[in-house]
Amino acid sequence: MTKNLRVKSSEYIDETNRISFKFNGRTYHGFKGDTLASALLANNVHLVGRSFKYHRPRGIMTSGSEEPNAIVQVNPGINRTEPNVRATEVEIYEGLEASSQNCWPSVEFDIGGINNFLSPFFPAGFYYKTFMWPASFWEKYEFFIRHSAGLGKSPTSSDPDIYDHRNIHCDVLVVGAGISGILAAKNAAKNNFKTLLVDEKNELGGSTIFENNEFNKIDNKTPSEWLKKEIKELKNIKNLEIKTRTSVAAYHQYNYLLARENLTDHLEAKDKTNKIRQRLLKIRAKKVILATGALERPLIFNNNDRPGIMLSSAIKKYCEFYGVACGSKNVFFTNNDSAYESALSLYNKGINVEAIIDIREQSESKIVKKVKEAGIKVYWSHTIVDTAGYKRLNNISIMKLSNDGTSVTGSKISISCDCLGVAGGWTPAVHLYTQSGSKLKFDEEKQIFLPNQNTSEQISVGSCGGDFKIDEIIKNLNQKLKDNLNIKETDLDNIKVEIDQENSKRNIWLLPSDKPLGKTKPFVDYQNDATAKDIKLALREGFRSIEHVKRYTTTGMGTDQGKLGNMHALGIIADTAGVKMGELGTTTFRPPYTPLTFGTIVGRNVGKFFDIFRRTPMNDWHIDNKAEFENVGQWKRAWYYPINGETMHQAVQRESKAARESAGILDASTLGKIDIQGSDASEFLNRVYTNAWSKLAIGKCRYGLMLNEDGMVYDDGVTTRLGENHYIMTTTTGGASNVLGKLEDYLQTEWPELDVYLTSVTDHYATASLCGPNSKKILKKIIPNLDLSDESFPHMSFKEAKIGNIQCRIMRISFTGEHSYEINVQASYGKDLWEKCMEAGKEFNITPYGTETMHLLRAEKGFIIVGQDTDGTMTPIDLQMDWIVSKKKYDFIGKRSLYRSDTMREDRKQLVGLLTEDPNVILEEGAQIVSELNQSPVEMLGHVTSSYFSPNLNKSIALAVVRGGKEMMGKKLFVPMENKNINVTVANPVFYDEKNERLNA
């Protein structure tokens, strides 16, 4: 039987809408408006998880995104499951299921709980110290750790939901819709700033919306009543967009923020379908107003982690907002007045408050008096020295604090209770502020880090800026708005505020117990089980930097990033080391503030939208003819065209033979094409290529090699002179955009005096490369009136022609060594051109071939492929291409580097051919080459860069780079493989038709 702990209908809970949900397999009921945490608490369920290291029972601690304990797996076992979700942030809906994490076999009986009793053996750094030695034991440790530590389970099938990205540009972004955020957004929008207000909760108003302290008044109303009226008015304001359930995850430079908008997580399964689940908002704001509020601090005392021990402010929120009593015998433990507000909230609703333990000597504020008048016992100058109750708190022991706060005196008082609210003061939520690059300073009086130096257009208002009382908040907000937005009047000028003054403070980071520290468990980081004694141990072991202590003890390293305990960790370090907190610095808060799902991060970029790809105009033909494709840069290129169940090898052998014996056709549309015009175009080419261009006649083509300034080969391709001041350059497929970028760079920054214009026309032309001894006959059939004689149209020349009405550019150039034509037409005619070639070539058995055959054919000729036979360390000399390097030209890109002592070394790796002793053995590309087999260590001479079985030569061939290879012609070398050594001979890299007789065949 679970007790129902609903106290009174709250306006935020719809008691007419009863919802059933499951937690750890058991069915419970809650109402629309509940979070999983509030609904569980209403059912008297506090125990929701186990801690990471000691597997101690842990309960719901907070009511927000700072929750360290109530980490659950939502909808376990289905494809929508999500691990590491905070129960305090899950809105319940009919059919919701959730389960505890980090416990096995169940949260009630947990095997790992034995670690708790062994905890003297699990001090800070235990994992580092123990599991690293001996190294061979790691596998056993790993098995144990992985089995017992659970950080949730990822879904095993694909995510059914849709995610989205949206860019937002606004004048003012307000983060947080508490009282400060609402007033800031309202005044910004009213002053014609395009304003966006976001809040992670589903309701506006922050904690002020349930602030009913009768001693605080705004315009004679309670803060809650007054704020509700303000929120109503927001609806009528233009220029204001409000997004709830939207949590800002990251604040980058130049006011660029990422937020996650949650759209369907609160809906039943049937209503989630086909809707966008979460949207990543990419916000660029001219000004950012941070109104992220403050997080209540716990107090650090012995056994402060039992289920039933919660933040005082959370108990108040559960009571006022959700109408839930977290306990029936409540005690508060505090160092400030806010616990009295919580106590009074409970008291006013008829919930029993046993006592308040206050470490201060006294407080004279009105609310404290009111609590005393209500008959609630207050223990001044007392501290809790221990707590009891394994799965639920049932008792606390308190003692009197010494004057200096470091020890306890007198006799122990025992108080029976089932819920303890702790109130350790407030920490401004400065996480986003520091992410933006802005700096904090420590306020010694308030004992908090406050915004100090802003680096971008931003302000922090309300409690995240250090203002906690409503009068300060409104006064300072008003001034900051006027200064930052440059406005003269605001709504806030005439607000009357009365508040109850707090007049006594006492802060002790680590509260003493009657037991020595070593025998106690004062938890600082609940999620990672780091205690105050771990931190002190780290200091004793010599750690000084806060970042080191953090990693050694794992304090603040959990999914909650230590939102609750980081300040205490710093305080304990400062007290122990005897330095001021301001001098320690704070640890860095890294994005995301709250975790993001992978779905939100990738948005629509899934499946075929994962990466951009490009298809040629002939693509449909390749698909219809069953081509296999390969990725070349962003392009999908036809790789080979298997027929009748051929393997890749069989298809490539057939295609390669056909191209040399009769006719082949290749889709070369992907080659980069750059149109170069201007009166200095020839001079420009002279400077970017290694060879000379001035004398190239109009209508002629020339192969060019482009170097980097370091002398290494960068790209290659054929450039054709179309007119006096007009060239078309081709580049490698993968290098096209980089080459254009490099040429533009030189033109704009080094040679702005040159009259040259560059235009990328890669996508504008489709190219069919027709090759083989019958290519001329085929072209003749397509364009009968074109003179194809060697005199009129020799190798390395260009003609313009028409195929029907289609204008085309034809280059007689060859990458295979065969008589070839590259026919270029406007891209939209590409498929038409291809089909015409296929039709005309039918009688010659024209064979379409893909990139693999192209690679094989050029390798037979010893033509390099930049990026395969070169790797950014090869000069033209290394490639045995000295012939292309002009000796006459005064300068070209990379020339000077060819005369550096290093590039002139004789023993550089040089391109050579390799032939295997057994002609049927095909070397592996990338295989290493050696000259001695029994050497140790073995000296690597180089590696194989290209390797094929040549059907035209009926033997295997390979290109390789070998140290000093030029001088090794005929030398026997070895390619050692896993199971054998392959004997090879260094050969001329031109294996086929060395005299280039086939070009004119």
Q: What is the dihedral of CA 279, 285, 287, 290, to 10 degrees?
A: 20
DSSP string, 524-565: EETTTTEEHHHHHHHHHTT--SHHHHHHHHTTT-STTTTTTT
121 or 899: CB nearest another protein = 899
- Phi-psi category of residue 97: left, alpha or beta, with phi > 0 → left and psi -120 to 50 → alpha: beta
Select the residue interacting with another protein from 104, 131, 215, 256 (CB under 8 A).
256
- Considering beta carbons, is residue 746 or 974 the nearer one to another protein? 746
For another protein, what does the binding mask look like between residues 443 and 472, x meaning CB under 8 A? Answer: ------------x-----------------
Considering beta carbons, is residue 284 or 809 the nearer one to another protein? 284
**284 or 799, CB closer to another protein?**
284
Q: Which is nearer to another protein, 20 or 759 (CB)?
A: 759
SS3 868: coil
- C-alpha pair distances (Å), 475 with each of 226, 228, 290: 16, 20, 16
Element (H, E) at 701: strand 701-707
Q: Pick the binder of another protein from 896, 907, 940, 967 (CB under 8 A).
A: 896
Interface map 262-301 toward another protein (x if CB under 8 A): ----------------------x-----------------
For residue 286, the minimal CB distance to another protein (Å) is: 10
Stretch of 11-19, 138-146, 253-261, 355-363 lying at the interface with another protein (CB under 8 A): 253-261
Q: Is 166 among the residues that bind another protein (CB under 8 A)?
A: no
Separation of alpha carbons 634 and 659, rounded Å: 27
- Residue 605 or 996 having the CB closest to another protein: 605
User: In this complex, which beta carbon is closest to another protein, that of residue 760 or of residue 797?
Assistant: 760
In the bound state with another protein, the residue whose beta carbon lies nearer, of 95 and 872, is 872
Per the structure block, which two tokens stand in for 215?
A: 């001693």
Residue closer to another protein (CB basis): 767 or 903 = 903
Sole window of 137-145, 376-384, 768-776, 896-904 interacting with another protein (rule: CB under 8 A):
896-904
Q: Does 252 bind another protein (CB under 8 A)?
A: yes
Of 699, 706, 635, the C-alpha closest to 671 is: 635
Quick note: the x/- pattern for another protein over 498-517, rule CB under 8 A, is --------------------
Residues forming beta bridges with residue 973, ordered by sequence position:
984
Stretch that binds another protein, among 171-179, 672-680, 893-901, 910-918 (CB under 8 A): 893-901
SS (H, E, C) 283-333: EEEEEEEECCCEEECCCCCCCCCCCCEEEHHHHHHHHHCCCECCCCCEEEE
Total of residues contacting another protein (CB under 8 A) = 25
153 within 8 A of 81, measured Cβ to Cβ: yes
Residue selected from 891, 906, 978, 997 as contacting another protein according to rule CB under 8 A: 891
Figure out which of the listed residues 749, 805, 954, 979 binds another protein, where binding follows CB under 8 A: 749
Tell me whether strands 701-707 and 713-723 are parallel, antiparallel or unpaired. Answer: antiparallel
Closer to another protein by Cβ: residue 328 or 456: 456
Residue 400 in contact with another protein, rule: CB under 8 A: no
* In 893-998, beta strands by DSSP E: 909-916, 928-929, 942-950, 955-963, 972-976, 981-987
CB 255 → another protein: shortest distance, Å?
Answer: 8
Residues 118, 687: Cα–Cα separation, whole Å: 75
Q: Quick check: 417 and 326 in contact, CB under 8 A?
A: no
Q: Which of 136, 236, 411, 748 binds another protein (CB under 8 A)?
A: 748
HSE-CB for 635 with a 13 A CA cutoff: 23
Helix (H), strand (E) at residue 852:
helix 851-860
Helices (H), 467-607: 470-485, 532-540, 546-553, 566-577, 581-584, 598-602
The count of other CB atoms within 10 Å of the CB of residue 593 is 25
Of 636 and 687, nearer to another protein (C-beta) is 687
Contact with another protein (CB under 8 A): which of 120, 350, 645, 752?
752
Supply 467's token pair: 């203002």
Q: Is position 441 an interface residue for another protein (rule: CB under 8 A)?
A: no
Q: Which of 225, 646, 710, 832 binds another protein (CB under 8 A)?
A: 710
C-alpha pair distances (Å), 278 with each of 260, 264, 807, 953: 7, 7, 51, 60
Only segment of 66-74, 306-314, 895-903, 928-936 that touches another protein (CB under 8 A)? 895-903
User: For another protein, which is the closer residue by CB, 68 or 711?
Assistant: 711
Question: Contact with another protein (CB under 8 A): which of 164, 514, 628, 744?
Answer: 744
**Residue span binding another protein (CB under 8 A) among the ranges 361-369, 833-841, 887-895, 961-969:** 887-895
Give 404 or 753: the residue with its C-beta nearer to another protein. Answer: 753
> Contact, 864 vs 679, CB < 8 A?
no
Site residues (vs another protein, CB under 8 A): 252-256, 284, 437, 455, 709-710, 741, 744-745, 748-750, 752, 890-891, 895-897, 899-901
